[in-house]
């Protein structure tokens, strides 16, 4: 009886060993195939609707019209894309440095937190479209104003997530560090900062998308134009000229940029967390 049971258990284990890789591989395939398939179906439905209904191009262009505009107007859209990318990544970099530095100061000193955190909240809740015109007046050029707008929007999510992460350390570990006589800076470097990484990575993903949104919205509010303008101006220009294919092409570039930023920040988060944190480690059972 025991031999039969062991044989059946061995057969079950071997069946599981054979089935599990196939299941994981199929899941991986479905993760890619389902979103791509839905995107292709949506584009096909869009194309069929425009062709069959006879909607004019200046109201709703077809996907082929958008692709043609993206190809023919690339010489105009590409420099604008570079301007938007430069502002977005510069604003995100400043928000990362400023948010992390201020979070450390707030956590290390209760008085600093009481004094400075309300100002951070005020900057966050004030609409960026109301701040942008003032920054245009008080800054030397439009690019600096746009950079500050992007920084202000991306700053608070990184700050708040980092503060939450630094404060979420296990109290038993803090007591252990106190027991061994660790200084406050040693606790920060070897305990609090590593423990706050999941929160920081969440703030990074949020801040990356918000930096792009803020750069575009600030350019709308500032009304910047000319050779040094970004994709927001190309959107407005296309709208005024009723050049809907170019407008959709510029919107497509902005969407692709946002998706790329989210993918990059998610990959960075996975690189940092996948070896040790539960949010990125795959369950074994």
Last residue of a domain, one of 36, 54, 72: 54
Q: Which of 14-28, 100-114, 208-222 has the lowest mean pLDDT?
A: 14-28
Q: Could you tell me which of 132, 105, 133, 129 has the C-alpha nearest to residue 119? A: 105
- Counting the structural domains of the chain, the total is 2
The answer to whether the beta carbons of residues 281 and 274 sit under 8 Å apart is yes
Q: Which long-range contacts (CB under 8 A, 24 or more apart) does 49-55 make?
A: none
Domain of 49 in residue numbering reads as 1-54
Residue 13 has pLDDT above 50, yes or no: no
Residue 7 lies in a domain: yes
Beta-carbon count within 10 A of 174 CB? 14
Same domain, yes or no: 32 and 68? no
Q: Is 223 left (phi over 0), alpha (psi -120 to 50) or beta?
A: left
Q: Which helix (H) or strand (E) holds 68?
A: helix 63-72
pLDDT digits (tens, 9 = 90+) for 76-88: 899 999 999 999 9
pLDDT at 279: 64
3-state secondary structure of 230: coil
pLDDT digits (tens, 9 = 90+) for 173-188: 889 988 988 888 889 8
Q: What is the CATH number of the domain that holds 111?
A: 1.10.3720.10
Same domain, yes or no: 117 and 218? yes
Same domain, yes or no: 35 and 154? no
Same domain, yes or no: 77 and 36? no
Residue 77 lies in a domain: yes
């Amino acid at each position: 009886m025991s031999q039969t049971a062991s044989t059946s258990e061995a057969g079950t284990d071997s069946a599981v060993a054979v089935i599990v890789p196939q299941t994981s591989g199929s899941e991986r395939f479905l993760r890619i195939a389902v979103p791509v398939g839905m995107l292709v179906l949506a584009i096909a439905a869009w194309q069929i609707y425009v062709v069959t209904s006879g909607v004019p191009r200046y109201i709703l262009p077809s996907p082929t019209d958008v692709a043609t505009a993206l190809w023919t107007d690339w010489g105009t859209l590409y420099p604008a894309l570079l301007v938007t990318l430069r502002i977005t990544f510069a604003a995100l970099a400043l928000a990362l440095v400023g948010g992390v530095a201020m979070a450390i100061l707030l956590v290390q000193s209760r008085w600093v937190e009481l004094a400075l955190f309300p100002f951070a909240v005020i900057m966050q809740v004030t609409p960026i479209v109301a701040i942008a015109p003032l920054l245009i007046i008080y800054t030397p050029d439009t690019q600096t104003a746009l950079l500050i707008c992007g920084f202000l929007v991306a700053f608070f999510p990184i700050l708040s997530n980092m503060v939450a992460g630094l404060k979420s350390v296990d109290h038993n570990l803090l007591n252990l560090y106190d027991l061994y006589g660790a200084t406050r800076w040693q606790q920060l470097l070897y305990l609090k900062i590593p423990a706050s990484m999941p929160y920081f990575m969440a703030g990074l993903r949020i801040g990356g998308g918000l930096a792009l949104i803020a750069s575009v919205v600030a350019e709308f509010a500032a009304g910047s134009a000319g050779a040094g303008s970004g994709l927001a101006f190309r959107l407005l220009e296309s709208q005024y000229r009723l050049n809907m294919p170019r407008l959709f092409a510029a919107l497509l570039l902005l969407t692709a940029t946002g998706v790329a930023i989210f993918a990059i920040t998610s990959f960075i988060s996975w690189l940092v967390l996948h070896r040790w944190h539960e949010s990125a480690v795959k369950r074994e059972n």
